[in-house]
Amino acid sequence: MAYNSMMAAVRDLEKHGHLIRIRSEVDPDLEMGEIHRRVYDAKGPALFFERVKGSPFPALSNIYGTFERTDFLFRHSMKKVQKVIELKADPTNFLKSPLRYLSAPFTALSALPMRKRLSAPILYGRTTVSQLPQVKSWPMDGGAFVTLPQVFTLPPGASNIMQSNLGMYRIQLSGNEYIPDKEVGMHYQIHRGIGVHHTMYNESEEPFRASIFIGGPPSHAFAAIMPLPEGLSELTFAGMLGGRRFRYLRHNGHVLSADADFVITGIIRKGEKKPEGPFGDHLGYYSLAHDFPVMEVENVYHRKDAVWHFTVVGRPPQEDSSFGYLIHELVEPLTPQEFPGIVEIQAVDAAGVHPLLLAIGSERYMPFRERQPEEILTQANHILGSGQTSLAKFLFIAAKGDVPHLTTHDIGAFFRHILERVDWTRDLHFHTKTTIDTLDYSGSGWNAGSKVVVACCGDKKREPTTELPANFSLPAGFSNPRFVQAGILGIEGPAFSGEDSYADCEKLTRHLEPLKISGIPMIVLCDDSAFLSATLNNFLWATFTRANPSHDLHGVDAFVEHKHWGCRGPLVIDARIKPHHAPPLIPDKKVQEKVNGLFAKGGELQGLG
In this predicted model, what pLDDT tens digit does every residue of 372-391 receive, in sequence order? 888 999 999 999 988 788 88
Give pLDDT tens digits for 31-43.
999 999 999 999 9
Give pLDDT tens digits for 199-216.
888 889 999 999 999 999
Question: Is the pLDDT assigned to residue 366 strictly greater than 80?
Answer: no
Give pLDDT tens digits for 298-332.
999 999 999 999 999 999 999 999 998 888 888 77
What number of residues does the chain have?
Answer: 609
Give pLDDT tens digits for 97-146.
665 655 656 566 678 899 988 789 999 999 999 999 999 999 999 999 99
Phi, psi dihedral angles at 202 (to 5 degrees): -60, -25
Would you place residue 515 in the very low, low, confident or very high pLDDT band (cuts 50, 70, 90)? confident
8-state DSSP, 585: P
Question: Is the pLDDT assigned to residue 462 strictly greater than 60?
Answer: yes
pTM over 0.95: no
Question: Is the pLDDT assigned to residue 395 strictly greater than 60?
Answer: yes
Would you place residue 193 in the very low, low, confident or very high pLDDT band (cuts 50, 70, 90)? confident
Give the three-state DSSP class for 445.
strand
Give pLDDT tens digits for 583-601.
999 999 999 999 988 887 6
Question: For domain 6-73+111-309, is the CATH number 1.20.140.10?
Answer: no
Question: Is the pLDDT assigned to residue 228 strictly greater than 80?
Answer: no
| Confidence at residue 101, expressed as pLDDT on a 0 to 100 scale | 54
- The pairing of strands 114-115 and 247-251 is parallel
d(CA 122, CA 261): 7
8-state DSSP, 136: B
Query: Hey, where are the domains in the chain?
Result: 6-73+111-309, 333-456
Q: CATH topology for 333-456?
A: UbiD C-terminal domain-like (3.40.1670)
d(CA 600, CA 587): 19
DSSP per-residue string spanning 272-328: EEEEE--EE-TTSBEEPPEEEEEEEEEEEEE-TT--EE-----SSSSTTHHHHHHHH
DSSP per-residue string spanning 14-78: HHTT-EEEE-S-B-TBTHHHHHHHHHHHTT--EEEES-BTT-SS-EEE-TTSSHHHHHHHTTTTH
Give pLDDT tens digits for 261-287.
999 999 999 889 999 999 999 899 999
Nearest to 495 by CA among 525, 517, 475: 525
Cβ-based neighbour number of residue 196 at 10 Å: 12
Give pLDDT tens digits for 323-363.
988 888 887 777 777 788 899 999 999 999 889 999 999 98
Question: Is the pLDDT assigned to residue 607 strictly greater than 50?
Answer: no
Phi, psi dihedral angles at 435 (to 5 degrees): -90, 145
| Confidence at residue 543, expressed as pLDDT on a 0 to 100 scale | 98
Nearest to 4 by CA among 247, 186, 189: 247
